Amino acid sequence: MTPAAVAPPPRPLIGPDELRAAVARLGAELSRAYPMGVLLIGVLKGSVPFLADLIRAIDTDVAVDFLAISAYTEGTGRVRIVKDLEGDIWDRDVVLVEDIVDTGLTATYVLGELRRRGPRSVEVCTLLDKAVRRLVPVSIRFVGFEIGDEFVVGYGMDFGERFRNLECIMAADVHALRADPNAYFDALYTR
Ligand code: 5GP
């Protein structure tokens, strides 16, 4: 019998200092782009830490709303809104805030929904852009980091609801996590 493969350890990809610097840069870019104010729309739940930091890096009028989406069927890219916005976005300058844009299917769907509601403008701000994985083109005006084809967790991003609270972004072996959801528990949570 061959021994079970050992999961490669999670690898730090983006540390807290780099995250802080990127958020400060994006906050300055957004402040410059929207001197009269902006409505940020966070996609739950992954964007929460990023959005919380980002609003404090913006020094113009900023309002926040949230929506939550869920896949109809995992892996198909078909999504639906499970929690809608509270407010009207008609004639507003809107920025969709994402943790990560991967295939682009989610952002494309959400942007379509938002545009139907008649905002004055809609742009995308994503912390991470996994551009090499794109299946549908998405125009992203504000980008924190472009990353390669890696599965990442931390700073809002999860695997099975875990790891959102890490203060850095780690690259993890998603196959190892699927095989054993506890694969990285000790490495990431036990100090
Ligand atoms: P899409 O493929 O539609 O662009 O991305 C959909 C969603 O998949 C993202 O909003 C994010 O929740 C999730 N996702 C994509 N890549 C990763 C990743 O590397 N790590 C984690 N934790 N989630 C991801």
36-47 pLDDT, tens digit per residue, is: 999 999 999 999
Question: Can you give the residue range of the structural domain that contains 132?
Answer: 15-70+78-151
Report DSSP letters for 59-122, one per residue.
Answer: -S-EEEEEEEEEESSTTS--EEEEE--SS--TT-EEEEEEEEESSSHHHHHHHHHHHHT--SEE
Q: Considering only CA atoms, give the Rg of the chain.
A: 17
97 phi-psi bin (left φ>0, alpha ψ -120 to 50, beta other): beta
Domain with residue 20: its CATH number is: 3.40.50.2020
Residue 161 covered by a domain: no
In short, whether 102's Cβ falls inside 6 Å of ligand 1 is yes
Residue 159 covered by a domain: no
Ligand 1 centre distance from Cα of residue 178 (Å): 15
Q: Is 102 labeled as catalytic in the residue annotation? A: yes
Closest atom, ligand 1, to C-alpha of 101: 4
Which of 100, 109, 146 to mutate to test ligand 1, by most ligand atoms within 8 A of the CB atom?
100
Structure tokens at 96: 């969709």
Residue 8 covered by a domain: no
User: Residue 71 has what pLDDT?
Assistant: 76
Which of 127, 157, 175 to mutate to test ligand 1, by most ligand atoms within 8 A of the CB atom?
157
Reply yes or no on whether the pLDDT at 49 is more than 80.
yes
Residue 165 covered by a domain: no
- Rounded to 10 deg, the angle between the 48-56 and 16-33 helix axes is 60
Over residues 53-63, the pLDDT tens digits come to 999 999 999 99
Over residues 117-126, the pLDDT tens digits come to 999 999 999 9
Instruction: Please state the domain count of the chain.
Output: 1
User: Residue 4 has what pLDDT?
Assistant: 52
In short, whether 129's Cβ falls inside 6 Å of ligand 1 is no
User: Residue 191 has what pLDDT?
Assistant: 63
Q: pTM for this structure? A: 0.94
Give bridge partners of residue 147 from the DSSP assignment.
none
User: Residue 1 has what pLDDT?
Assistant: 41
Residue 107 covered by a domain: yes
From 99, 102, 129, 173, active-site residue: 102
Over residues 114-170, the pLDDT tens digits come to 999 999 999 999 999 999 999 999 999 999 999 999 999 999 999 999 999 999 999
